[in-house]
Structure 1
Amino acid sequence: MVGVYAAVYSEREIDGERLRFCNLAAFCVLDEYRAHSFRLLRAVLGQKGFEFTDLSPSGNVVALNERMGFERLDTRTTLALNLPAIGAGGVSLSGDPAALRATLEGADAAIYRDHRDAAAARHLVVTAGDEYAYLVFRKDRRKGIPVFATPLYVGGSRTLLRSAWPRVAGHLLLRHGLLATLAEEQILGFRPRAGRPLAAPRAKMFRSKTLGAPSIDYLYSELTLIEW
């Protein structure tokens, strides 16, 4: 074996339509065979009936993907400090599996079942009255320091998540030891306060004739499966 393109496959219902996804997870070719990298990528993308994502492309792969028709997702990111917060009445937070199973509904319940044992995925449910917000996030490193939360998916009420964000940020700090959140507005649906925009957020890409960028999240991918 001189080269490999590892991928994660899933089938999901998006806007009432059942779609198959191929997430390009890792690309490695021995130096003396690098000239054949393009052929390997073409073989992967030659699979029929898939929507393709690449959520952690390296610098060289970004340009190669663009040649193959990939588009960049809007990854504008706010680096927001996670600060302790005073509890707001009527709002509860929990990462307990029993609470997640009892609260989540429909697609969110299925996503939790699929990702509860994923090595890098962490789960939090926020409840207030009859509403809930569901956050899937991972711990990320920057410059070797593993103190950053990266949201991967939001289910339920984004309005509730936004109003409860100070509590969520405090939970990330005190329960998970995460000093800041790398918050992409496309995923969260809002920009947390106490933050600043990153000058050069990391690229994420997709190729689809069916879906637009707002329908893409980061589930069923190396971002949920692999810690680094």
Structure 2
Amino acid sequence: MAMPTLEPIQDGDLLAFCQFLTEHLSSERSAEQWAQAFQQNWGVAKPNNGFLIRDEGKIVGGIGAIYAERIIRGQAERFCNITSWCVLEAFRSQSMRLAMAVVSQPGFHFTDLTPTEVVSKTLQFLKFKPMNERHALWPNIPWPFAQLGGIRVLTDYDAIEGTLAPADAKVFHDHRHLPWLRHLAVGKPGAYCLVTWKPNRLKGVPGALVLGFSDPELFLTYRPTIGSYFLQHGYFYTRAESRLLPRLPKLSHELAGYRNKVFRSDTLTESDISNFYSEIVGLNQ
């Protein structure tokens, strides 16, 4: 019997691969919904959409890859975000071929931000590093002093893009079309912070899950204003990954027990790894 073939997922193969994901990984998304995450124009000429394995012409496994370029400390950095690693039981012995094909590509930093426990441990064997999995949560309380300091909250998307610094405006521009994300800019002229979030519930209580922000220090500085805005709109707490914060804010409580996101890079640290430009934002989680 011939060994199953390994090949890159080109755009012409993408819908078939995504149909495989719908049938064998999660039927909650259609093939078209899966494909949307791989079709973003995020600043880099993607070499593929990941890799797949065929047996006698039939897809029996695959691993997705989402590519993007980000500016970190003034330097353009290229990322490959691994996602949706799925192999049929009879072909599990071929799984590592997929992972090795992805991480053997030169010139990228690699991440997996939604790994299962098995995938996380497997990638750590390939020199991926686990990140802090805890989430910080704090109550949103009224804050009537924002206007006294000239601090504003902008929610009009054109106003947000026109107010942010150029690098932050690009991040917003690259994500503003995704309907399940919500964005605001908070601050004052010359010191605005982009905040990307979506509604969340814990034990039935509505809150705001912050996925990312453009400046961690400004985010903490403006935290009372942001929390007051969320509260006015019916969200009673703010929640964010602890690893994204320079320190835990006052009145916060850490939640543990989440899966470790992982990354592999020779030059970047955990604090450089963002949820932007990944399946975290590219798919409606």
Common fold by TM > 0.5: yes
Q: How many residues align?
A: 225
Tell me which residue corresponds to 2:170: 110
Work out the CA distance in 2 between the residues paired with 1:194 and 1:15.
31
Work out the CA distance in 1 between the residues paired with 2:194 and 2:87.
38
Q: 1:212 to 1:163 in 2, by over 3 A?
A: closer
How far apart are 1:44 and its partner, in Å? 1.4
SS in structure 2 of the partner of residue 2 of structure 1: strand
Tell me which residue corresponds to 1:134: 194
In structure 2, what residue type is equivalent to 1:4? G
How far apart are 1:129 and its partner, in Å? 4.7
How far apart are 1:7 and its partner, in Å? 1.8
In structure 2, what residue type is equivalent to 1:189? P
| Identity within the alignment, % | 35
CA contact (8 A) 2:205 2:236 kept: no
Gaps of 5+ in 1: none
SS in structure 1 of the partner of residue 214 of structure 2: strand
Q: 1:214 to 1:163 in 2, by over 3 A?
A: closer
CA contact (8 A) 2:193 2:213 kept: yes
Q: 1:214 to 1:42 in 2, by over 3 A?
A: same
CA RMSD, 1 decimal? 2.3
Tell me which residue corresponds to 2:281: 224
Work out the CA distance in 2 between the residues paired with 1:140 and 1:26.
23
How far apart are 1:137 and its partner, in Å? 2.3
How far apart are 1:50 and its partner, in Å? 1.0
Tell me which residue corresponds to 1:151: 210
How far apart are 1:146 and its partner, in Å? 8.5
CA contact (8 A) 2:187 2:222 kept: no
| 1:27-176 correspondence runs (5 A) | 27-88=85-146, 89=148, 90-140=150-200, 147-156=206-215, 158-175=216-233
How far apart are 1:22 and its partner, in Å? 0.4
Work out the CA distance in 2 between the residues paired with 1:49 and 1:160.
31
Structure possessing the higher relative contact order (Cα contacts under 8 Å, 6 or more residues apart): 1
1:7 and 2:39 aligned? no
Work out the CA distance in 1 between the residues paired with 2:97 and 2:231.
45
How far apart are 1:32 and its partner, in Å? 2.2
Tell me which residue corresponds to 2:250: 193
SS in structure 2 of the partner of residue 34 of structure 1: helix
Q: 1:7 to 1:180 in 2, by over 3 A?
A: farther
Work out the CA distance in 2 between the residues paired with 1:141 and 1:41.
34
Q: 1:15 to 1:130 in 2, by over 3 A?
A: closer
In structure 2, what residue type is equivalent to 1:20? R
Work out the CA distance in 2 between the residues paired with 1:42 and 1:146.
42
CA contact (8 A) 1:183 1:191 kept: no
In structure 2, what residue type is equivalent to 1:201? Y
Tell me which residue corresponds to 2:38: none
For normalisation by structure 1, the TM-score amounts to: 0.87
CA contact (8 A) 2:78 2:109 kept: yes
CA contact (8 A) 1:74 1:186 kept: yes
Work out the CA distance in 2 between the residues paired with 1:223 and 1:140.
14
51-60 or 197-206: bigger deviation: 197-206
Work out the CA distance in 2 between the residues paired with 1:139 and 1:34.
37
Query: Quick check: which has more Rg, 1 or 2?
Result: 2
